[in-house]
Amino acid sequence: MTVDMTQQDSISNKRKRAVRTAWVLAVIAALIFVAFILSGVLGS
């Protein structure tokens, strides 16, 4: 059975990485919004 990396982590380390994940996702969401507005602007 594999033991994954999270074993050694403290909760606060986990939270730090979680914040990074969150920023990446937020940026992706914003980009999708902008992309669709742009497609509307360019399309019309």
Partner 1 sequence: MSIESTHSHDNDAHPAAPGDHHDHKPTGFFNRWLFTTNHKDIGTLYLVFALIMFFIGGGMAMVIRAELFMPGLQLVEPDFFNQMTTMHALVMVFGAVMPAWVGFANWMIPLMIGAPDMALPRMNNWSFWILPFAFTMLLSTLFMDSGGPAAGWTLYPPLSLQGGQSFAFVVFAIHMMGISSIMGSINVIATILNMRAPGMTLLRMPLFVWTWLITAYLLIAVMPVLAGAVTMLLTDHFFGTSFFNAAGGGDPVMFQHIFWFFGHPEVYIMILPAFGVVSEIIPTFARKPLFGYAAMVFATASIAFLSFIVWAHHMFTVGMPLMGELFFMYATMLIAVPTGVKVFNWVSTMWKGSMTFETPMLFAIGFVVLFTIGGLSGLMLAIASVDLQYHDTYFVVAHFHYVLVPGAVFALMAGTYYWLPKWTGHMYSETWGKIHFWVSTISVNILFFPQHYLGLAGMPRRIPDYSTQFADFNMISSIGGFIFGASQLIFVGVIVHCVYKSRKAAQGLVWEGGKGLEWTLSSPPPYHSFNTPPLIDPTTISHPEEAH
The angle at the Cα of 29, spanning 23 to 31, to the nearest 5 degrees, equals: 105
Return residues touching partner 1 (CB under 8 A): 1-4, 6-7, 11, 14-15, 17-19, 21-22, 25-26, 28-30, 32-33, 36-37, 40-41, 43-44
Q: Report the C-alpha gap between 13 and 36 in whole angstroms.
A: 36
Provide the minimum distance between the beta carbon of 7 and partner 1 in the complex, in angstroms, as a whole number. Answer: 4
Q: Report the C-alpha gap between 42 and 13 in whole angstroms.
A: 44
Provide the minimum distance between the beta carbon of 16 and partner 1 in the complex, in angstroms, as a whole number. Answer: 9
Provide the minimum distance between the beta carbon of 21 and partner 1 in the complex, in angstroms, as a whole number. Answer: 4
